[in-house]
Each structure stands twice: as structure tokens, then as C-alpha cells.
């Protein structure tokens, strides 16, 4: 009898260990590879309702999808006004919320060899994957409003979003940087900011319908709050060219709690933005 109970217990544990993963209603999942063979897990929160009068649904690209897709998907489906958008979360084939090695490479600038552990410097390759592989597949699968493409990222992802704005400003109309790591590598983004600003003043950029939103918790490091606020203040000078910028501090939140605090606000802001 004891042997039978032991066997049944082992069978139950084995069954639980191989239980099917949770599937969220209103979603689908893809597996995609970059040109270099890096695999990504793409999680889609499907649009609901009729195609808007613009001819396509707004699309929001979300970084670190394993960690943040469930919260953003739930926030989107909780209110009717938020359901008419496509949420495209980019994640990794991993069981962990944050794949630190993969995101360290994808979201960062090149590092000197002696400091390149874990490997870093893949931000342009990652942007190529989004622009040349992921976006075309999303466009083929859905009717997309090409004037309503947004990017949302947290921490390194927020830093990456600002980099994307500086280097490929026409790729996304709207960037939301949550607790961006603007201090990384001796504030390397400042060189890209200067080049971006010079191009704007020279009339070489169309920023009429572009925006950058910076969100940060009041319990984060003082320098992180100051860096984000200073960037937004500098960006106010670019409002004459159409670029909108915003800086918001969330009371009682720290670096890791921020992305779970603001999904509804972020979605509401991005989905309600109007071009005309």
C-alpha cells in the first residue's frame, strides 16, 4: 500500500511539473528569429472592435515582454476604450520574467572588451530586428495605423527607447521610457542627444507628431530622477518643431514597482493620442 501511495505521489508531481502553461484570453504568441539567429518570443494582445477610421489599429511595442505583458494586457482589456489597439510584447524563450543576459545585449551600447561581461552592444541589431522583421510581420497580420506606432520600455528598455528616438526618430511616433537608465556608461546617450538636437535645429527631422514621456518613481535614486527631469527640460526647446515631451513622478514607487504601477496610464495616453 505504501509503495502504491508513493508511486501515485510521484505520478502527481510529474504531472504537475509538465502542466500546460497559462494562456491569456485575447492573445496569441509567435516565435521569431533575428537575422543573426537569436530567438524571440512575441506575445500579442489582439485588437478588439472595428478598425478605426484611420484605416488601422494603433500598435504598441513593449520590451521585456515576459515580465510586463500580462499586466499591460490585463490593463488593456479592463476598459473598453483601451481595447482597440494591438499590443506587441517582445520577450525571450525563457521561463524567467527577465532574461538578464539577453536584454543586456539587446538593449545596450557596445562596451570595451574588458567590461563586456555579460556581452553587450546589440542595440542596433535589435532595432534592425524590430524594423526589418517584426514590424513587417505585424503589418501583414493586422491592419496597422502607421502613424500610431509606440514603444514602451523600462530601465534598460527605457534607455533603449530614448536611443531609438535619437537614432531612428521615424520608427516610432511615441516613446514611453519608464525609469530609464540614462546614467549608463557615463551617460553615453548625451552624444546621441546632441546629434539629434542639431538635426532638429537644422530642419532635418520631422518631429510634428512625435512624443517622449518619461515616468519615474519618487523612491528611485536621486540622480535617476534628476537625469530624467533634466532631459525633459532640454527637450522643451524642441517643442517648436512639434516634439512633445512629458515628465511624471509616481509617488511611493521605486525602480522595480514602476512598470506594474503605470500600465493603464501609459495605454490611455498612447491610445488617445490624435494625429489630426
User: Which phi and psi (to 5°) does residue 177 adopt?
Assistant: -110, 110
Query: What are 136's three cell numbers?
Result: 513587417
Radius of gyration of the chain (CA): 20
Express as a percent the part of the chain with pLDDT over 70: 91
Check pLDDT > 70 for residue 183: yes
Across the chain, mean pLDDT equals: 92
Check pLDDT > 50 for residue 175: yes
**In this predicted model, what pLDDT tens digit does every residue of 36-64 receive, in sequence order?**
999 999 999 999 999 999 999 999 999 99
| 5 is a domain residue | no
Provide the CATH number for the domain around residue 126: 3.40.50.1820
Contact 86, 45 (CB under 8 A): yes
User: Which phi and psi (to 5°) does residue 127 adopt?
Assistant: -65, -40
**In this predicted model, what pLDDT tens digit does every residue of 187-211 receive, in sequence order?**
999 999 999 999 999 999 999 999 9
Check pLDDT > 70 for residue 181: yes
pTM of the model as a whole? 0.91
Give the model's pLDDT for residue 118.
Answer: 83
| 166 is a domain residue | yes
| 7 is a domain residue | no
Give the model's pLDDT for residue 14.
Answer: 52
Express as a percent the part of the chain with pLDDT over 90: 83
Structural domain range at position 45: 22-272
State whether the Cα torsion 127-133-137-140 is positive or negative.
positive
| 80 is a domain residue | yes
Check pLDDT > 50 for residue 8: no
| 251 is a domain residue | yes
**In this predicted model, what pLDDT tens digit does every residue of 236-268 receive, in sequence order?**
999 999 999 999 999 999 999 999 999 999 999
| 4 is a domain residue | no
How many structural domains is the chain composed of? 1
Tally of CA atoms within 13 A in the half-sphere of 95 that contains its CB: 1
Give the model's pLDDT for residue 225.
Answer: 97
| 181 is a domain residue | yes
Give the model's pLDDT for residue 112.
Answer: 77
| 17 is a domain residue | no
**In this predicted model, what pLDDT tens digit does every residue of 138-164 receive, in sequence order?**
999 999 999 999 999 999 999 999 999
**In this predicted model, what pLDDT tens digit does every residue of 87-125 receive, in sequence order?**
999 999 998 999 999 999 999 998 877 676 788 999 999
Give the 3-state secondary structure of 73-134.
HHHHHHCHHHCCCEEEEEECCCCCCCCHHHHHHHCCCCCCHHHCCCCCCCHHHHHHHHHHHH
Amino acid at each position: 500500500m505504501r509503495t502504491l501511495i508513493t508511486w501515485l505521489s510521484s505520478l502527481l508531481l510529474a504531472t504537475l511539473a509538465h502542466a500546460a502553461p497559462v494562456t491569456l484570453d485575447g492573445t496569441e504568441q509567435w516565435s521569431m528569429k533575428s537575422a543573426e539567429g537569436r530567438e524571440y518570443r512575441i506575445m500579442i494582445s489582439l485588437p478588439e472592435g472595428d478598425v478605426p477610421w484611420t484605416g488601422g489599429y494603433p500598435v504598441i511595442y513593449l520590451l521585456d515582454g515576459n515580465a510586463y505583458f500580462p499586466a499591460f494586457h490585463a490593463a488593456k482589456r479592463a476598459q473598453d476604450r483601451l481595447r482597440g489597439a494591438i499590443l506587441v510584447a517582445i520577450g525571450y524563450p525563457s521561463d524567467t520574467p527577465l532574461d538578464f543576459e539577453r536584454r543586456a545585449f539587446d538593449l545596450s551600447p557596445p562596451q570595451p572588451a574588458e567590461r563586456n561581461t555579460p556581452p553587450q552592444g546589440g542595440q542596433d541589431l535589435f532595432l534592425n530586428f524590430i524594423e526589418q522583421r517584426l514590424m513587417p510581420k505585424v503589418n501583414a497580420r493586422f491592419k496597422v495605423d502607421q502613424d500610431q506606432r509606440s514603444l514602451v520600455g523600462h530601465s534598460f528598455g527605457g534607455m533603449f527607447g530614448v536611443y531609438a528616438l535619437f537614432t531612428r526618430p521615424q520608427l516610432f511616433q511615441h516613446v514611453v521610457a519608464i525609469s530609464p537608465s540614462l546614467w549608463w556608461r557615463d551617460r553615453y546617450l548625451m552624444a546621441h542627444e546632441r546629434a539629434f538636437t542639431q538635426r532638429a535645429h537644422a530642419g532635418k527631422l520631422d518631429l510634428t507628431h512625435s512624443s517622449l514621456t518619461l515616468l519615474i518613481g519618487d523612491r528611485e535614486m536621486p540622480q535617476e530622477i534628476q537625469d530624467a527631469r533634466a532631459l525633459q527640460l532640454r527637450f522643451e526647446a524642441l517643442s517648436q518643431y512639434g516634439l512633445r515631451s512629458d515628465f511624471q513622478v509616481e509617488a511611493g514607487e521605486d525602480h522595480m514597482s514602476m512598470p506594474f504601477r503605470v500600465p493603464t496610464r501609459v495605454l490611455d495616453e498612447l491610445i488617445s493620442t490624435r494625429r489630426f
